[in-house]
Structure 1
Amino acid sequence: MAFELKNTVPWGRSLTEYKSMFNLTGPDLNKKIISFGDGPASFNYEMTQQNKTVTSLDPIYQFSKDELNRQIVSARDTVMKQMIENQNNFVWTSIKDLEELEHIRMRAMSDFIADFELGKNQHRYVHHELPETTSFKAQVFDLGLSSHFLILYSKLGIEFHIKSMAEMLRICKEIRIFPLLNLNAKKSEVLDGILEEFGNGYSCSIESVSYEFQKGGNKMLRIQNK
């Protein structure tokens, strides 16, 4: 089935948030990084501004700048309405309120839109949909990231997750995934199966992070090739 932009809800996060979500240190930021399901985040743009190396993958990158911008604008009211209805499921500390949340997200997505055409020409934004095999050689990236996609969308099923993460680990020396909850802010149904699958042959650990917006969502999964 063809990927349709109208079915997506683009919602971008910033470099500051990525640092907190993934415990990214100074040395980490100097690594060759690939980020899966990056969507309209400003992570790639902000890293590029600091002369860092990031490749972002997402199926939405097949669309034009104008198409993406229209979908971002269209999705904003829907997302903010859901946030109002579910605001008790979130921790309002680093982000103080709904107004600040909307400002942070729209700023991140605005920076992404401004950077998108240049980044696509520079092959920093690559159209790809997991769990399909990428075109990259084995172990070519130091670090692979997945924010608010894998594990969170548990309804995609355990096989989808295992295939996706196996491909990530094929091209990355290490991967980090955040958060470990499902969309209902409960422990993801696929987490135990993932740990069982990759527990042999890889080094797996669950680590606390400084980022917590979804209540209880302050842990990431780190898997390293041995």
Structure 2
Amino acid sequence: MQLDDIVPWGRSYREYRAMFTLTDEDLGGRIIGVGDGPAAFNAEAHARGQDVTSVDPLYAFTPEEIRSRIRTIRPQIEAGLRANPARYVWDHFPDIEALIAHRLDAMERFLEDYPGPGISARYRAAGLPRLPYEDGAFDLALVSHLLFTYSDHLGAEGHIEGVQELLRVSREVRIFPLLTLDGNPSPHLDAVTAHARAAGWNAEVLPADYIFQVGGNRMLRLSRPTA
């Protein structure tokens, strides 16, 4: 994958806690963030003594390359926000300037922590549908703005393959949001939940403590039944 194909845009630890309704008990387990990009969640969790591993194709690039790419795509992100402000709920952030500042702070926190490709086991250049971990390596997998978000690029079978892999490496999976980039409900949610239940997994759509996209305050929680 080329860096020009990636739109790196990261969120903070506070946002992750709200998006996935993470409790202190959740944060005490082994967590994998899939598609974390330049989010600050790993860095801030590590500073708190929490066990978080992040995987993303972005981690094949150096901090300097990622920083340069963020500078390049920032005007594009900001222009999209200004063109469509009614698509978003301005509760967590009072305005676009505050949102941009918060995200830039989060990404800078990531860049201060991320040492570069292959240096830290906390950051692995990998992604779905194949994760380089053993079965049951994690207690909780978090997927932020990847599955369902890119429903135009990944079909129902790709989503199902992705959640199967997530449940191979983790006993529980939480996916947020359940909307596409355009703010529409993902057409693949029903197929994923139907497959999950047919496979004997637990699947439920739950409210999240976070909303930015209009209608985007729900997450999908999947888990394997306990023996």
Given candidates 33, 36, 39, the residue that maps to 1:38 is 36
Alpha-carbon distance in 1 for matches of 2:58, 2:116: 16
Shift of 1:120: 5.2
1:9 Cα deviation (Å)? 1.1
**Equivalent residue for 2:15?**
17
After TM superposition, where is structure 1 displaced by more than 4 Å over at least 4 residues in a row?
none
Shift of 1:184: 1.7
Q: Aligned residue for 2:145? A: 148
- Paired residue for 1:52? 50
Q: Which runs of 5+ in 1 are unaligned?
A: none
What is the TM-score normalised by the length of structure 2?
0.96
Equivalent residue number for residue 5 of structure 1: 3
Q: How does 1:79-158 map to 2 (within 5 A)?
A: 79-117=77-115, 121-131=119-129, 133-155=130-152, 156-158=154-156
Find the aligned partners of 1:87 and 1:120 in 2 and give their Cα distance.
Answer: 39
Structure 1: distance between partners of 2:223 and 2:24: 19
Task: Return the offset for 1:119.
Answer: 9.1
* 1:157-168 → structure 2 map (5 Å cutoff): 157-168=155-166
Aligned partners of 1:120 and 1:49: how far apart in 2?
20
C-alpha displacement of 1:122? 2.8
RMSD in angstroms over aligned alpha carbons? 1.1
Counting only pairs closer than 5 Å after superposition, residues 174-189 of structure 1 correspond to structure 2 as 174-189=172-187
Q: Which moved more, 1:155-164 or 1:165-174?
A: 155-164
**Residues 11 and 149 (structure 1), Cα distance of their counterparts in 2 relative to 1, 3 Å cut:** same
TM-aligned CA deviation for residue 52 of structure 1: 0.3
The one-letter code sitting in structure 1 at the alignment partner of 2:206 is E
For 1:93 and 1:129, the matched residues in 2 are separated by 32
Local SS of the residue matching 1:154: coil
Mapping of 1:66-81 within 5 angstroms?
A: 66-81=64-79
What number of residue pairs does the alignment pair up? Answer: 223
Is structure 2 residue 213 aligned with structure 1 residue 214? Answer: yes
Distance 1:177 1:100 in 2: 25
Cα distance in 2, alignment partners of residues 56 and 135 from structure 1: 12
Cα distance in 2, alignment partners of residues 163 and 70 from structure 1: 33
**Residue of structure 2 in register with 1:170 after alignment:** 168
Residue 135 (structure 1) shift = 2.2
Q: Aligned to 2:160, what secondary structure does the other structure show?
A: helix
Deviates more, 1:8-17 or 1:156-165: 156-165
Using the alignment, how far apart are the partners of 1:140 and 1:29 within structure 2? Answer: 15
Deviation at 1:140, TM superposition (A): 1.3
Q: CA deviation at 1:129?
A: 2.4
Identity, % of aligned pairs?
A: 39
Q: Contact 2:55/2:123 (CA < 8 Å) preserved in 1? A: yes
- Choose 117-126 or 63-72, whichever is displaced more: 117-126
Q: TM-score, normalised by structure 1?
A: 0.96
Asked whether the 8 Å contact 2:59–2:116 carries over to 1, the reply is: no
Give the secondary-structure state (helix, strand or coil) at the position aligned to 2:173.
Answer: strand
